[in-house]
Amino acid sequence: MKATLKALYCFLLTLSLTVFSSGLAWAGESLYQYSTIDALLAGLYDGEQTIKELMFQGDFGLGTLNGLDGELVVLDGTPYHISAGGVAAIPPDTAKTPFATVSFFQEDTILKLDRIESLHALNEAVTQGLPSKNDFYAIRIDGRFSFVKARAIPKQNPPYEQLKDAVRHQVVVQFTGEGTLVGYYSPSFVKGVNVPGYHWHFITKDRTGGGHVLDCSFEPTNARLDSLNAFTVKLPESREFSELDLSGDKSKELDKVEKDSAKKE
């Protein structure tokens, strides 16, 4: 009996170690996403995924909180909620997200960047250094910023407007000094699911401010890239998501939402 129990224990231990090791290797190369960008554009601002659950999927990332309440930055394993006005704070584990992308950051490429004068110039510079345009990349840039123009949208109340309308209420702020850009590059084939191209959020070095990046300029530094060749999407299990019409092309709406820096009332 003791021999049987010992054999069973050894088997279970070996199995658990194998699964654990495989999970770590897989997680380091994978991008995890909750919901889709088109669902967010359509006004699905309430999700079931908690911050605690999200943190099991990555230590680096970005998104928003339920009600389209500001911006979410995940950096070095800590989540930060950035409210309208640019103030960052750690949200409770029970806070929920309607859209987020996270990964376990494991740097495998370093790009040297000269002085960057604009967000457009940053995107072009990183694109020139991408090993492939068909993979996903988590991108971390620590530096001294001449300015970062960032926005966050105040928490919305139902019935929700579509994102192209809700963005009119955004609050735009500007930062200078040291901080970190948290970003992702996604291939063009993810249209409708994620943001094709670049999506950037910012947080200050002291972790007290930030937002969704609309423009920026910074001194020469390095961009640290983590290549991700697996992509997992967790779809909301809600009646609202099931009934959404996601058949149309929302590319123009997304472009406006990502780049429009003017607050319109």
On the question of pLDDT at 63 being above 70, the answer is yes
The predicted model scores a pTM of 0.88
Q: What is the pLDDT of residue 198?
A: 98
pLDDT (tens digit, 9 = 90+) per residue, 137-196? Answer: 999 999 999 999 999 999 999 999 999 999 999 999 999 999 999 999 999 999 999 999
On the question of pLDDT at 127 being above 50, the answer is yes
Domain membership flag for residue 265:
no
On the question of pLDDT at 132 being above 70, the answer is yes
> Average pLDDT, stretch 89-111?
97
pLDDT (tens digit, 9 = 90+) per residue, 219-246? Answer: 999 999 999 999 999 999 999 999 999 9
Q: pLDDT > 70: what percent of the chain?
A: 87
Would you call 96 exposed, middle or buried from its count of C-beta atoms within 10 A (0-12, 13-18, 19+)? buried
Question: Across the chain, what does the average pLDDT equal?
Answer: 90
Q: Which residue is it, tokens 């401010």?
A: 209
Range(s) of the domain holding residue 248: 7-259
Domain membership flag for residue 136:
yes
Whichever domain contains 215, its CATH number is 3.30.1330.80
- Please give the backbone phi and psi of residue 99, each rounded to the nearest 5 degrees, phi first: -165, 130
Domain membership flag for residue 217:
yes
Domain membership flag for residue 264:
no
On the question of pLDDT at 13 being above 70, the answer is no
Domain membership flag for residue 69:
yes
Q: What is the pLDDT of residue 27?
A: 55
Domain membership flag for residue 227:
yes
Q: What is the pLDDT of residue 217?
A: 98
Q: How many domains does the chain have?
A: 1
Q: pLDDT > 90: what percent of the chain?
A: 83
Q: Picking from 7-11, 29-33, 147-151, 229-233, which range would have the lowest pLDDT averaged per residue?
A: 7-11
